[in-house]
Each structure stands twice: as C-alpha cells, then as structure tokens.
Amino acid sequence: MSTHRTLSAALVPALLALTVPATTVPASAAPAQGTGTAWEIVEGLTTEIGPRPAGSEAEDRARDWGAAKLEALGFRNVRVEEFKTLAWTRGPESASLTAPYAQPLAITALGYSVPTPRGGLKAPLVYFPTLAALEAAPAGSLAGKVAFIDHAMRAAQDGSGYGPYGDVRRKGPSVAARKGAAAVVIRSAGTDGHRNPHTGVTMFADDVKPIPAGAVSNPDADLIARTAARGKPMAIDLTLLGKPNPGATSGNVVAEMPGRDPSLPIVVLACHLDSWDLGTGAVDDASGCAIITAAALAAQQGGQPLRTIRVLWSGNEEMGVRGGGGEHYARLHGQEPHAVAMESDFGADKVWQVKFSTAAADKPLVDKVKAALWPMGIVPHDGAAEGGADIEAIIKAQSLAVIDLGQDGTHYFDLHHTPDDTLDKVDPAALQQNVDAWAAVLKVIANEPGPIGKFTAAAE
C-alpha cells in the first residue's frame, strides 16, 4: 500500500547518488507519516484516487479500490451495490467585481447550480448582510441582479455553526431565486481565511427556477463587504458553468466482519466514499472510512465478537439529498435485522464526546460504553445521537439505536468542501485515537448478548 515507508533510511543516500534522472524516493520533503490500517486507507484513497465526486468515473474507481482493500483486509461478503442518482458536474468558473473597483474573486459553484451564459453574466451586485435581510426583500426586487449573502459563521468544537450558517448555502439560493435574482453568490460556509471557496450542495425549492449559485472565499467576502460599505453601486461578471448530471451511476461498498452468532441483529458502521471535487476528500470522508474499517478490525482483537459488524462505504453522500447511498442501503437492506448504527463523517480530529439515542432499558449497556471511553477522556453529552446522512434512512426504517462519537470540529470547517481537504491535514495520532475509541465502543456493543432496544425520539 505504502511502499515508501518500507524503504530503509539507509537506501536513501544510495538512491540520491544516482545520476540518471529517475523516479527516486522522496527524501527531502517527506510529509509526516502515519502507520496502520486507518492511515493506509486515507493515504491510499487520497493518493491513488483523489477527488471522488458523486456519479463520476473517479467514484467508480474508488469503489473498486475500496472493495479490493476490504477484501485484502479480510472482510467478508464484500460487494458493490450500484444505484442511479442525480449528480452534478462542475464546469469552468470565474468571477470579478467590475464596479466600483475591478477585482478578481475566488469563487466556486454550489452543487445543483445551473450554468450562467458561457460568456459570463454581467449584472449589478446587491449586498445582504444576512439571509434574513434577503428574505425581507420584496418579491421580484432583484430582477436582473445578483444577490450577495454575507454571514458570520465562527468555529465551534461541536460544529454547531454549520446548521444555521450552512442554511445560507442550503436555502439562500432558493430565496434569491424567489426574489427574481439572476444569480446568487454567498460567503462560503467556512471558518478559514484562505482564498479557497467552500462548495457544497444547495437545494432549490420546487416553486423556484434554479439560478446560478456560487460561493466566494472568506477574504473575497470581506472584500465585497468592505466595498459595499463604501456605498457605491457594485457590479459583477460571473461565470459558473457547472450543471446537474441526471442518471449518473453511484454505488455503495458493503462488507462484513462476521460475528459468532449470525442470528443477532448486526452493528452497521458508515462513512462515505464520495468526496467533493475540489480537494482529495481526506477529512471528508476518507478518514471516516478509515476509522470505521480499522475499528471493525481492531474489535476482533481479543476474540471474535458476538455480532456481525458491517461497514458501509456509502456513495453520493454529498449530493445525496435527492437519493444517495444511505437511501439505497435502506432499500436493499431494510429487512435485515440491525441493532445499532454509527457514522464517522466529521473529519479526523480526536473524539471528545459521546452521545446516545438508545432505549431507556439499555442504560446498563450505555453505562458500559461510557466506562469504556472514560479512560480516553471522552465525555458523555446529553444531546441526541443522530448518526449521519448515510444511516439516516436505515435508522428511520428500523428505529435504530445510535451512538455518536463526536469529533473535535474546531478546524473542520476550515477544510470542509475546499481544495485544502488533503492528506497533510490528517494527524496520524488523532486518526488512531478515533480508531481506538470506535474499537472500544464496538467491543462492548458487538459483544452484547441480550436484545438492544429500538429508539424513537417520541417514545423515549
């Protein structure tokens, strides 16, 4: 998998001494390296596949890569389960402020944006400091104009800013379209200060005609805000040629570590294999696949668990709001008995909290999980465990118990959906801490002999 780590240091000078130009082993600038199964999965996916947009040929290659990797690691019943999906394909994209000052803007289109004219859309740019300010604009008042929506997302350890501030991306384009806007540009839903805009899916409501929609980086949004504050009319030249790609093929990779008692409901662990196209999907979500897979293996140490542990490397999570891997999984596997569902899809930083959505009768089991995590400094929180997009459908279908191992998200939205989502952002030690925490939980729940209860928020 990672041959350069097996080359001895003694070999390096000999290779450097070669005077024939050749592909020699990197010596001077080798980045920090990890070891173990989880690292190998993140390193392999990001190096040998890279960006894996939903419905793309690269996502297909990633499924083959994943299936081969899971086979090699000793998983059983490894299979690829393809499905059709409404994907989206990026096109050329650029933008400039043209008035009152000419300035290039770092921009990227949002998923499900429709294209501008090929030569660009030239229009007045209207500044809205918040989504609420845009919502207050009269219907039709933005005809022929481009709306800019600002906001003030800040970093938070639990990532809670992404809910409300992420709505600028999710809902803002529909609101702008409803006001008659020709296009919409938002401040990226992100917490960094780099010229890397954050992409992500937007959802056009059924009652609006989709419009071109893009996000500028935070420094560019700052520039627009400063320019707006000067009070002179602004104008933009906007080219976003990405467009929806219906009928694309995505797919899940599913594999198992069989339990000693096949009659017991299984534990399903999910991540997603697809990534946004701008980065290599290292933290979103190769790390999740790495963590759950390495943990499923680590849980075998000390004896085969009672219950089967299934891993789901889901396809099309990112564009899956209209039919992704999680829904397809529930469609194919909704009749098979599940006990607990868990997902890892929040980067590669350390687990710091645990949350539960479990039947009241399972308090002894929950206490056992808490005790297993206690020596790792992982603190129980009262909020409901919600899983993630790739297990949402199966949780709903079977009223499943859910355990969330909450990762530190302070820096997650610096990287999320940007070109910066690359391997160098993964700390091998933090990645391994995730594996250890997941394995600790699995050793408890996959060895639970008694029934594990159903959970419905209303019932508990």
Q: Which listed range, 1-9, 256-264, 306-314, 403-411, lies at the site for a copy of itself (CB under 8 A)?
A: 1-9
CB-based contact 432:34 (threshold 8 Å): yes
**Sheet containing 234-240, strands listed edge to edge, beginning at the edge strand earlier in sequence:** 103-105, 93-99, 234-240, 121-128, 146-149, 183-187, 213-216, 107-109
In angstroms, the CA 293 to CA 400 distance is: 21
Cβ count within 10 A of residue 50: 17
Q: Counting contacts by CB under 8 A, is residue 14 touching a copy of itself?
A: no
Contact positions with a copy of itself (CB under 8 A) in 297-336: none
Which listed residue (20, 139, 429, 458) binds a copy of itself by CB under 8 A? 20
Q: Counting contacts by CB under 8 A, is residue 58 touching a copy of itself?
A: yes
Please give the C-alpha separations between residue 336 and each of 330, 394, 447, in angstroms, as whole numbers: 9, 10, 19
CB of 70 to a copy of itself, least distance (A): 20
Binding mask 251-280 for a copy of itself (x = CB under 8 A): ----------------------------xx
CB of 207 to a copy of itself, least distance (A): 20
Which listed residue (21, 163, 375, 449) binds a copy of itself by CB under 8 A? 21
Q: Counting contacts by CB under 8 A, is residue 35 touching a copy of itself?
A: no
Cβ count within 10 A of residue 456: 12
CB of 217 to a copy of itself, least distance (A): 8
> Roughly what angle, to the nearest 10 degrees, separates helices 428-445 and 287-298?
50
CB of 168 to a copy of itself, least distance (A): 10
Cβ count within 10 A of residue 91: 14
Residues touching a copy of itself: how many (CB under 8 A)? 78
Q: Which helix (H) or strand (E) holds 354?
A: strand 351-357
Contact positions with a copy of itself (CB under 8 A) in 189-248: 193-196, 218-219, 221-223, 225-234
Q: Which listed range, 41-49, 242-250, 284-292, 370-378, lies at the site for a copy of itself (CB under 8 A)?
A: 41-49
Q: Counting contacts by CB under 8 A, is residue 361 touching a copy of itself?
A: no
Contact positions with a copy of itself (CB under 8 A) in 91-150: 101-104, 106, 126-130, 133-134, 136-138, 141-142, 145, 147, 150
Which value, to the nearest 10 degrees, does the dihedral of the CA atoms of residues 385, 405, 55, 320 take? Answer: 10
Return phi, psi of residue 257, to 5°: -105, 105
